[in-house]
Amino acid sequence: MATLVAFHAHPDDESISMGGTMARAAAAGHKVVVVTATDGAVGEVDEGLLGNGESLEMRRSAELQRAATILGIDRAVQLGYRDSGMMGTADNDHPDCFWQADVDTAAAKLAAVLSEEGADVLTVYDGYGGYGHPDHIQVHRVGHAAARLAGIGRVYEASMNRDRIRAMRAMSPDAEEGPEDDDRFDMDKIGLAEDEITTAVDVSDWLEQKRAAMAAHESQIAEDSWFLALPPDVFAMSFGTEWFRRVVPEFAGDPIADREDWILTEPGE
């Protein structure tokens, strides 16, 4: 059995981008650890949701633990950095935010977790952080630096399939707007193109767990949100495959013809 460490930016990112992969790995008996860089304190929250004396970072930490339990994650670790907010906002300049963190210092923190857990596989984000959020970009930088420090032999970048998103939007031009329609996101940069993706993980058998884990992050993903309001068939089409690029060891084959369907080595392989 292997140990998978998934490095993410904020509580809820883990469930949205690779909740199915982590649930599938846990169900197969692998050890799964999620590491979250920030507290998520700059996320938007509906008025009245938080209890008396409850901060958003407290709520999001509790939501992370609930989602981890749903997905079968063995351990959820938070590195303790402040949420940096969206690119170009004043929160980017806060001295305690992840965007301002020294990469080597943050990498050493993550590398300590990787070594402690005996990580075999690490997931980070692609260089654009999926959609250009500063904390996601920093996860890419810090994650790769930590992998080098800890000597991790298998590293994947979690991402989105840019071409699949475009095709789905073209098929349903009258569909409710999704995150990719936000004018803050550049569709020419979001995620990875089809021919850059080396690994497509089928998580259709774990969609119920993935959806439940997403719903556990109720401060950020309300039941009537775009994510959870999708009909079951559209939710399956949108979230039933999770996309990665293998960067360590470098993928030598054709990203489409030789594409992998899993990120962990099974016994006997």
Nearest to 15 by CA among 155, 264, 183, 208: 208
Q: Which helix (H) or strand (E) holds 258?
A: none
Going along the chain from its start, the domains and CATH numbers come out as: 3-248 (3.40.50.10320)
| pLDDT by 10s per residue, the chain, length 269 | 999 999 999 999 999 999 999 999 999 999 999 999 999 999 989 888 898 999 999 999 999 999 999 999 999 999 999 999 999 999 999 999 999 999 999 999 999 999 999 999 999 999 999 999 999 999 999 999 999 999 999 999 999 999 988 887 766 544 444 544 555 567 778 999 999 999 999 999 999 999 999 999 999 999 989 889 999 999 999 999 999 999 999 999 999 999 999 999 754 34
Taking the C-alpha atoms of residue 241 and residue 92, their distance in angstroms, rounded to an integer, is: 32
Tokens for 55, please give them. 């901060």
Q: Are 41 and 19 in contact (CB under 8 A)?
A: no
DSSP for 102-150, please give it. Answer: -HHHHHHHHHHHHHHHT-SEEEEE-TTTTT--HHHHHHHHHHHHHHHHH
**Amino acid sitting at position 47:** E
Report the side by side order of strands in the sheet with 31-38. 75-81, 31-38, 3-8, 121-125, 155-159, 241-248, 199-202
